Structure 1
Amino acid sequence: MAEHQDETRAAYDGVVELYASLFAGRLEAQPFARAMLGTFAELVRGTGNSRASDVGCGPGHLTAMLHELGLDAFGLDLSPGMVAYARRAHPALRFDEARMEELPLGDGSLGGVLAHYSMIHTPPGELAALLAEVARVLVPGGLLMVSFFGVEGAAAGAGPVRFDHKVAPAYSWPVDRFVELLAGAGLMPFARLVHDPASERGFLDVHVMARRP
């Protein structure tokens, strides 16, 4: 686990400014993702605990969006370079270094967790433990929204597929397999949005919401 995390951290540290310039305004061209984020924020507010973490927050643009949507949002990221950038770009918000597998949070402390394409670098054999850690920090009724690259239909039979992401190696997932992992981690998937790819890779863009019972 440590080796791939070290490689991912170093890769993102090396592209901070470029990554921020490419992705900070990307949601403007992604209406489906914006709609799901708005719904996520509304549902988190409905839990009575508006505290939410953007895990794998990168330059912090989605953390800021969650804040604008009424959540007590803060960002966590493996990359110290990304955390430093996010702190400069959004000085009123909190950003800290953290590993998703060991979140520095108490049991049942959050109303929501956002993982926007931040779990894609996790090897398939380690993803179940990561999802269980997310479930641990959610209050009963708390929500996870996770976005990832997915496949459906005949292509789903191959299982998770490793590919060369522009920053670090990543994985695409059969949508149903990922949903099964969520359920196995003690989370109840209740909504999903799957749409045609926004990139040249050809994978579907997938957004899934799950609730801790």
Structure 2
Amino acid sequence: MSDDSDTDFLRATASSYDVIAKDYAARRPHGLSHPLERSLISAFAELVTANGPAPVADLGSGPGGVTALVQGLGVPVFGVDVSPAMVALAREAHPELRFHVGSMTSLDLPDATLGGILALHSTTHVPDGHLPATFAGFRRTLVPGGHVLLAFRTGTEPGGLHLTERFGHEIDLRYHWRTPERMASLLTAAGLDLVATVVREPRDGETRPRAFLLARRPG
């Protein structure tokens, strides 16, 4: 699979999550494993609400647990995922919410229509060369003063990780490790202002720190 081809990496990511969707949803229904992460989501929701009524896009929404959490905090939200199977599971689990198939690398949304963007552990599947345009798309679709919250596992190893098996299924899934500093520089290069950086150390068998970056489109 070539990192240089949009269709290759998106197709591989989508098909891999299609295969493992049910197992993934059963083991990680909401994807938040620590109270700190839920607190960051709450802070993000408060910032979005204070800036106005525009909705949040949960990019890489998976089975929809985080999307539902944001909705429960009083913020209008919808989910986007590259995996049709994940979208189907999210719609089944949360029929009151809207989910559709799409990619964060090419958001099919009008300019300045989102109050916020969540991308929790989903940019990890986007190759380095596609991140500048992806983050430019984030800025384009955010309203002035809109916020984006990223979460990702940190690392510096070139090439990241290529998984060919998960939950007993054959897959083709690539993970790209980045440092908070690298991601922050990409966000600022896209015209977003960095608001906060939080790094949580590994726990309960985890092998990598979790980084959280909060950024804002200038008002």
Q: Same fold (TM over 0.5)?
A: yes
| Aligned equivalent of 1:128, options 129, 132, 156 | 132
Q: Which runs of 5+ in 1 are unaligned?
A: none
Match of 2:3 in 1: none
Structure 1 CA distance for aligned equivalents of residues 61 and 129 of structure 2: 23
Q: After the TM superposition, which parts of structure 1 deviate over 2 Å for at least 4 consecutive aligned residues?
A: 164-167, 198-202
Match of 1:147 in 2: 151
Q: Partner amino acid for 1:16?
A: A
| Aligned equivalent of 1:83, options 78, 82, 87 | 87
Rate the CA distance shift 1:3–1:93 in 2: closer, same or farther, 3 A: same
Match of 2:112 in 1: 108
Match of 1:12 in 2: 17
Q: Where do residues 1-213 of structure 1 align in structure 2 (5 Å cutoff)?
A: 1-27=6-32, 29-151=33-155, 156=156, 161-164=159-162, 166=166, 168-198=173-203, 200=205, 202-213=207-218
Tell me by how many angstroms 1:50 deviates. Answer: 4.1
Identity, % of aligned positions: 37
Tell me by how many angstroms 1:164 deviates. Answer: 3.2
3-state SS in 2 of match to 1:202: coil
3-state SS in 1 of match to 2:178: strand
**1:49 and 1:110 in contact (8 A); partners too:** no
Tell me by how many angstroms 1:176 deviates. Answer: 0.6
Q: Partner amino acid for 1:163?
A: L
Tell me by how many angstroms 1:198 deviates. Answer: 3.9
**1:58 and 1:77 in contact (8 A); partners too:** yes
Q: Which runs of 5+ in 2 are unaligned?
A: 1-5
Rate the CA distance shift 1:148–1:26 in 2: closer, same or farther, 3 A: closer
Question: For 1:40-76, what per-residue CA distance to the aligned partner results, in whole angstroms no more than 9, with x for missing partners?
Answer: 0000001113410101100000000000011101101
**1:53 and 1:76 in contact (8 A); partners too:** yes
Tell me by how many angstroms 1:204 deviates. Answer: 1.1
3-state SS in 2 of match to 1:2: helix
Structure 1 CA distance for aligned equivalents of residues 51 and 26 of structure 2: 34
Q: Partner amino acid for 1:129?
A: A
3-state SS in 1 of match to 2:25: helix
CA RMSD of aligned residues (A): 1.6
Q: Partner amino acid for 2:61?
A: C
Structure 2 CA distance for aligned equivalents of residues 21 and 187 of structure 1: 35
**2:31 and 2:65 in contact (8 A); partners too:** no
**2:18 and 2:83 in contact (8 A); partners too:** yes
3-state SS in 2 of match to 1:14: helix
Q: Partner amino acid for 2:97?
A: L
| Alignment TM-score, normalising by the size of structure 1 | 0.92
